[in-house]
Amino acid sequence: MKKSIYIETTVVSYLTAKPNRDIVIAGHQAATQELWSKLSSIPEIYVSALVAQEAGRGNSNQTQIRLAAIAKFPMLDINDEARFLAEKIIAKKGIPVEYPEDALHIAVAAVNGIEVIITWNFAHLNNPFTRKKVRRIVEAEGYICPEICSPEELLEVE
């Protein structure tokens, strides 16, 4: 089966961040680095213009490192179809209105037929309540909803 993966910005941030002394964050960083080393075995890896925009914010040294990390991946555009789906996800309360970028990540992946979104965003993307709501909304709009998981979860499958 062909695999296609969308890398959400938090994954790039964990990959490129300085080592953290918090044990949970350090574990996320280690899992991200392990997955990153295995990405060459995955046929289709994508980011979006939104990931590049978010990765380009903040400290200029860190932004250069984040942008370099994603430079090799094809970049999906944010088109009107994705914007419309993101608006539906927010309007139907799949993602809180205060986090439109999170809805847009899902929408870009869905309209492009991406199978998996990897993220460390447990607050608004990768939790069972959000996944259930978002799946229902995306599928009602006629798309196949990407699976949303953490790098750790994807490593378990690999």
CATH number for position 103: 3.40.50.1010
Integer Cα distance of 128 and 59 in angstroms: 33
Cα 28 versus chain centre, distance? 15
- Residue 42 banded pLDDT, cuts 50, 70, 90: confident
In whole numbers, what is the pLDDT of the chain averaged over residues? Answer: 94
pLDDT of 84: 98
Residue 54, pLDDT above cutoff 50 = yes
pLDDT tens digits for range 87-100: 999 999 999 999 99
Averaged pLDDT, 116-126: 94
**Domain tally, the chain:** 1
Strand, coil or helix: what is 76?
strand
Chain centre to alpha carbon of residue 127:
13
pLDDT for res 11: 97
Examine the pLDDT at 157 and tell me if it is beyond 80: no
Q: pTM of the full predicted structure?
A: 0.93
Q: What is the pLDDT of residue 27?
A: 95
Provide mean pLDDT across the span 103-114. Answer: 98
Instruction: Place 1 in a pLDDT band, splitting at 50, 70 and 90.
Output: very low
Instruction: Output the 3-class SS for 70-85.
Output: HCCCCEECCCHHHHHH
Q: Which domain holds residue 52?
A: 4-157
Tell me what pLDDT residue 65 has.
95
pLDDT category at 3 given cuts 50, 70, 90 is confident
